[in-house]
Amino acid sequence: MNSLIAIWRFRGLARAITERELRTRYTGSSLGPLWLVLQPLAMVLVYTLVFSQLMRARLPGIDSSFAYSVYLLTGVISWNLFLEIIQKSKNLFVEHGNLIKKVSFPRLVLYVPVVAVSGFNFVIMSILFLIFTVAVGMFPGKLILAAGPALALLVVFALAVGVLLSSLQVFFRDIGQVIDIVLQLLFWATPIIYPASILPEAVQRAIQWNPLVPVFRNLQTIFLEHRLPEFSTLLYPLAVAAVIALLAVYAYRRLYGAILDEL
Amino acid sequence: MTTTLLHESPAADVEARRIKPVLRAVDLGKAYAPGRGKQVAMDRLFGRRGPPQEPRWVFRNISFEIARGEAIGIIGTNGAGKSTLLKLLTSTSMPSEGSVECHGEIAALLELGMGFHPDFTGRQNAYLAGQTQGRTYAQIDAVIEHIREFAELGDYFDLPLRTYSSGMAVRLAFSVATAFRPDILVVDEALAVGDAYFQHKSFARIRQFLDEGTTLLFVSHDPSSIKSLCTRALLIGDGKLLLDSTPDDVLDFYNAMIAERTLANEKTAPENFTGRSGNGRARFDAVDLIAPRSGLVNQGIFRVGEPMTVRLTYTAHERLDELVAGVLIKNRVGADAFGTNTWFLNIKDLGNKPGEQRTLDFVFDQLNLGPGSYSIATALHRDLDHLGESYDWWERAAIFTVVLPSVATHFIGVAALPLQVVLDPPGVVPTAPQSAPPQAPTETPANADQAPG
């Protein structure tokens, strides 16, 4: 609770670092902030045009040429949010070492820009994505509000992993490499690119252990089937996230003094 | 080398401590385990607390209390741990043992730049730095013009920080750190980079803060700025708090310490020359410096006017009827300060007990030497001086440091001459002012003034 109050007190710092992160991406370029939109736009166009028009990929059971594009974008955009938070957090202490060594402020404030910048990218992509769904007549309407729990869980999950990794990364630099591989495996162990239905029965059961599967399933239900997802399936990922969060808090508290010495 | 504490508690100090401290260090210690971060992390994760295994201690057992409004100078040689201490106090580093209690807001000007970002302008960095201290945009907006004016950066204020000189960066850092009056201001040598003009300006601001009740912690190698700003000083060295006293006392002790260290280095420098010569028919076994008041042997530090005994232990290996022993005190640069021998003092029979160890004391009732570092050369020779026949000549047989006892007896120079100053002494009739001599050439002084111009 105290740390939440501290974060609120240092909201100016969080805002400044967020702005700095966003601005460094385009400082000196002539198109300026437009670049923040152009990259996601390119991605959305590739996924929609290439898969629906060129490759004519179809989802089994749904008779729409855009269904696979919607499926793909739902998963990829959400996965990017998850991935970006983890990757930005993992080097957090090393990256801000200069500041951390010289000024005393609540370190947790540094995670706010991580979420804010990743969230900013996510929102831009989502807007482009929603425009696309409207264009192809697959906008789920009020139902998009039902995506809230799954997305919130995704952010909390990523943040818990991020806090844990950032504390460990200061000492064990291999962790950064290891986690990239683990994330790749996790990505392919989650039905994002492919529909779960194409998997053999045994594999389908096996990936139920992957806590991210119900989260993405929730989102895909909303955007493809246009119906309320089963929120109760989120309890398992929530429990996993809670355990990781506890580990993260433990590691951070225990290591904090040593982190300051090691930077 | 041993250094003993000359612990004093001046009245002002005691007075200050009655007020509630803003900063308190209790048994503070910091240890690092360089190159063994992984091990430390594992230990921490699996339950071990406290200092790391195989620690390298920067310092231990530092305790002090600082009252509101005190101005503390922190003094110590390079690597003594001054910056580490400041980091613990500003919680940019965690103590390995002991604790820090802080009641108030700290603004710290630690190393250059305070975490500035090189690609952002001075203005943007000022905002960012203000926010690391928990200020809001609005609060910084209110003072940003003052920051700009005080730093005197001109157009550079809106240029990226990487285009700044180091002096400009310090000016910006100081202006930002002092934009709001903090409860505790910590300044770590940073100001040394600024030019004289900016130093004056920043000292004026620090003084103004002090008047308004800010507590100052100030690290500097410049004795004059410590003397002029601080009311108290802490000397850190040899991994501990050596002295906590008035700035004058601490600086004197510190200077003596430095001098002693220099001398110790000189002593070991020429490896082939031991500093001893002579034919060895008589030889010193030991030369010891004794402080008669405390009974301490070879503690190496004496106050001006304190007694000191030079104890020579020697053995004559055959009967030497004309054996003479001498001592010669030399100052830091090797100039003779005082020397004498038993021939001049008319002490005889030094060499009439061959093969037997004997002791000879030179007792100085008052060591009336100026503050500084001294060495003692001792000699055993035949007759008046060592030019006749030298049995044993021992250069730098002992080293000691003379320090001022307190501020009250300040003087400069190599000798401490006993002195009384009397204004209008009784029995002296002031001479009646003479009427101006008629021919006195009043123009002469004027000419003299013009001459050198």
Mean pLDDT of B384-413: 77
| Banded pLDDT at B32 (limits 50, 70, 90) | confident
Number of CB atoms found within 10 A of residue A242's CB: 13
pLDDT > 70: what percent of chain B? 81
pLDDT at B31 over 60: yes
- Cβ distance A10 to B131 less than 8 Å, yes or no, reads yes
Residue B105 binned pLDDT confidence (cut-offs 50, 70, 90): confident
- Would you call A99 and B120 a contact, using CB atoms and an 8 Å cutoff? no
The answer to whether residue A56 scores a pLDDT higher than 70 is: no
Strands of A131-187, DSSP E: none
Model confidence at B142: pLDDT above 80: yes
Enter the pTM of the model: 0.67
Q: Which two tokens stand for residue A154?
A: 């995704």
Percent of chain A with pLDDT over 70: 97
**Residues A47-53, mean pLDDT to the nearest whole number:** 77
Domains and CATH numbers, chain B: 11-257 (3.40.50.300), 277-403 (2.70.50.60)
- Residue B86 pLDDT greater than 90, yes or no: no
Mean pLDDT along residues B276-281: 81
Give the contacts of A169 (CB within 8 A, at least 6 positions apart).
Answer: A90, A91, A93, A94, A175, A176
Measured between alpha carbons, how far apart are the two ends of chain B, in Å? 53
Write out chain B residues lying below 8 Å of A12, CB-based.
Answer: 130-131, 134-137, 140
pLDDT, tens digit (0-9, with 9 covering 90-100), for B366-395: 888 888 888 898 999 887 776 668 888 888
Residue A165 has pLDDT above 90, yes or no: yes
Of A46-50, B332-336, B347-351, where does the model show the most confidence? B347-351
pLDDT at B1: 35
What ipTM describes this predicted complex?
Answer: 0.74
Q: Which chain B residues touch A172 with a CB distance below 8 Å?
A: 38, 41
On the question of pLDDT at A70 being above 90, the answer is no
Q: Quick one: average pLDDT of A126-140?
A: 88
Q: Is residue A186 scored above 60 in pLDDT? A: yes
Q: What confidence tier does B205 reach under pLDDT thresholds 50, 70, 90?
A: confident
How many percent of chain A have pLDDT more than 90? Answer: 32
Residue B31's nearest CA partner among B80, B112, B111, B96 is B96
Higher pLDDT, A123 or B293: A123
Is 70 exceeded by the pLDDT of residue B430? Answer: no
Mutate to test the interface with A, among B42, B92, B143 (most CBs of A within 10 A): B92
* pLDDT for the residue B2: 36
Record: contact B45-A99, CB cut-off 8 A: no
Q: Which two tokens stand for residue B199?
A: 């130093």
Mean residue pLDDT across chain B: 79
Higher pLDDT, B39 or B218: B218
pLDDT exceeds 90 at position A256: no
Binary contact (B119, A24; C-beta < 8 A): yes
Q: Which of B77, B34, B6, B81 is nearest to B239 (CA)?
A: B81
| Confidence band, pLDDT 50/70/90 cuts, at residue B409 | low
Size of interface A-B (CB pairs under 8 A): 91
Q: What is the DSSP letter of B403?
A: E
Residue B176's pLDDT band (cuts 50, 70, 90): confident
- Determine the 3-state secondary structure of B385 from DSSP: coil
pLDDT(B34) > 50: yes
Q: Which of A184, A6, A20 lies closest to A86, judged by CA?
A: A184
Confidence of residue A236 (pLDDT cuts 50, 70, 90): very high
Assign A211 a pLDDT band (cuts: 50, 70, 90).
very high
Query: Which of A131-140, A185-194, B218-227 shows the lowest per-residue confidence on average (mean pLDDT)?
Result: B218-227
> Residue range B248-254: average pLDDT?
80
Q: Is A230 exposed, middle or buried (0-12, 13-18, 19+ CB in 10 A)?
A: exposed
Q: Does residue B444 register a pLDDT over 70?
A: no
Interface residue A2 vs chain B (CB under 8 A): no
Least confident of A223-237, B182-196, B430-444: B430-444
Q: How far is A188 from chain B (nearest CA, A)?
A: 32
> What would the mean pLDDT of A62-79 be, rounded to a whole number?
84
pLDDT at A106: 81
What average pLDDT score do residues B221-230 get? 78
Using DSSP's 3-state secondary structure scheme, residue B217 falls into strand
pLDDT of residue B263: 58
Is the pLDDT score of B4 beyond 50?
no
B451 pLDDT more than 50:
no
- What are the pLDDT digits (tens) for B118-130? 778 888 888 888 8
- Distance from C-alpha of A263 to C-alpha of B52, rounded to nearest angstrom: 16
The pLDDT assigned to B55 comes to 78
Q: What is the mean pLDDT of chain A?
A: 86
Cross-chain CB nearest to B38 (options A11, A101, A172): A172
Q: Token pair of A45, please?
A: 């166009």
pLDDT the model gives residue A2:
67
What count of Cα atoms within 13 Å lies in the side-chain half-sphere of residue A153? 25
> What is the distance between the alpha carbons of residues B220 and B340, in angstroms, rounded to a whole number?
42
Report pLDDT for B431: 64
Asked whether residue A159 carries a pLDDT value surpassing 90, the answer given is yes
Cβ atoms within 10 Å, residue B449: 9
pLDDT band for position B449 (50/70/90)? Answer: very low
For residue B166, the model assigns a pLDDT of 81
Q: What is the pLDDT of residue B6?
A: 38
Mean pLDDT across A152-165 = 94
Residue of A nearest to B136 (CA): A12
- Does residue B212 register a pLDDT over 60? yes
**Is residue B145 pLDDT above 50, yes or no?**
yes
Mean predicted confidence (pLDDT) in A69-86: 91
Provide the pLDDT for residue B399. Answer: 85
Residue A20 has its nearest CB partner, among B115, B117, B132, at: B117
Query: Taking a contact as any Cβ pair under 8 Å apart, which residues of chain B between 112 and 171 contact chain A?
Result: 113-115, 117, 119-120, 124, 127-137, 140
pLDDT over 70 at B265, yes or no = no
Q: Phi/psi at A236 (nearest 5 deg)?
A: -65, -55
CA angle B117, B120, B126 (to 5 degrees): 80
